[in-house]
Amino acid sequence: MPDQPFQFEGAIAGSGTGGATDLTASEVDPLAKGTQGPGPVPVPDPSATSAGRPRSLWSDAWRDLRRNPVFIVSALIILFLVVISFWPSAIASGSPLKCDLAKAQQGSAPGHPFGYDGQGCDVYTRTVHGARTSVTVGVCATLGVAVLGSVLGALAGFFGGLWDSVLSRITDVFFAIPVILGGLVLLSVVTSNSVWPVVGFIVLLGWPQLSRIARGAVITAKQNDYVQAARALGASNSRLLLRHIAPNAVAPVIVVATIALGTYIALEATLSYLGVGLKPPSVSWGIDISAASPYIRNAPHALLWPSGALAITVLAFIMLGDAVRDALDPKLR
């Protein structure tokens, strides 16, 4: 049977006869759909646009932290410690220095749930007031270590060369100093009975750790393409370091500093226990633990409560640091 091209042409025109199939213009040429007159203009879905918008590392981390029960519990414990550090009288109205030898080593009593220590002091009141010392030392020491270590480490990682070599050798020297032995030697000659000598000692021996972390983070961040592009466009060293590198290198410093805060609180208690940190009449968990140690057989409660408060505080900061690390590390998602 010969071909009948005229039927195809007639189908397009709408006049085809016989067995030919009528075809519309849109079926023949899909592009002809746009010639049939104006149609509805598609409107983008706002929810889809916002859902597809890239989120930052910090927003993703905060979203994960809010869903992490470990972070919530540890944050609530730390918040409670901060509150009683500023307002200890809210839950302990008595004076931590008020003692009655007639009540020495007695157990719990109405209004004195933790009992009395070997000097007849209220263990509950001293435990509550001791939180201020521990939180003050931990926070101030961590801030000092973070600032000093981050600045020196960032400069070493960014500039490299002689500065990096000198700083690396200095940090090696500080790493070789035993912390407890250094505290016994340095703090034994200090006569001031305040928290600042202890804070200064912790900063002196603690900054090398944060310096190493900051140095490595800066070395990694400055190799990124956007940093090289900014350098090629003529950005100054200060702009590169503060605007492009620091925001992407601060995450590991925050994680290590959060965990270190708990260890600094434990270090202050250890130094006070050994007699080279804070001394009476200052109120500290380390002082209370040291004073209660000789009476552990007759009055174990005097040792139990300050030790438990110290352990819970240190554990809360370590758990908080671990939760922050898991949230900020994309490899653990």
Q: Are 288 and 117 in contact (CB under 8 A)?
A: yes
Indicate the pLDDT class of residue 284, thresholds 50, 70 and 90: very high
pTM score, whole prediction: 0.79
Residue 35: pLDDT band with limits 50, 70, 90: very low
Check residue 264 and give its pLDDT.
96
User: What are the beta bridge partners of residue 109?
Assistant: 112
- Please state the CATH superfamily assignment of the domain spanning residues 56-332 in this structure: MetI-like (1.10.3720.10)
Contacts of 39 (CB under 8 A, 6+ apart): none
Assess whether pLDDT exceeds 50 at residue 115: yes
Where are the chain's structural domains?
Answer: 1-30, 56-332
For the segment 251-258, the average pLDDT, to the nearest whole number, is 93
Mean local confidence (pLDDT), 255-281: 94
116 three-state secondary structure: strand
Rounded to whole angstroms, the Cα distance separating 326 from 58 reads 12
Is residue 332 very low, low, confident or very high in pLDDT (cuts 50, 70, 90)?
Answer: low
Q: Which amino acid makes up residue 49?
A: T
* Cα–Cα distance, 39 to 37 (Å, whole number): 6
Express each pLDDT in 38-56 by its tens digit. 545 554 444 444 445 556 7
Min mean pLDDT across 7-16, 66-75, 148-157, 178-187 is at 7-16
Q: Report residue 8's pLDDT band, with 50, 70 and 90 as the boundaries.
A: very low
pLDDT at 26: 45
pLDDT digit string (tens) for 297-313?
999 999 999 999 999 99
Residue, of 142 and 326, whose pLDDT is higher: 142
Q: How confident is the model at residue 235 (pLDDT cuts 50, 70, 90)?
A: confident
Asked if residue 243 has pLDDT above 80, the reply is yes
Mean pLDDT of 188-202: 92
Please report the pLDDT score of residue 78 as a whole number.
96
Q: Average model confidence (pLDDT) for the chain?
A: 85
Task: Show the tokens assigned to 312.
Answer: 């819970």
Asked whether residue 147 carries a pLDDT value surpassing 50, the answer given is yes
Question: Quick one: pLDDT at residue 79?
Answer: 96
Question: What is the predicted pLDDT for the residue at 317?
Answer: 96
Six-digit token string for 220: 């990694």
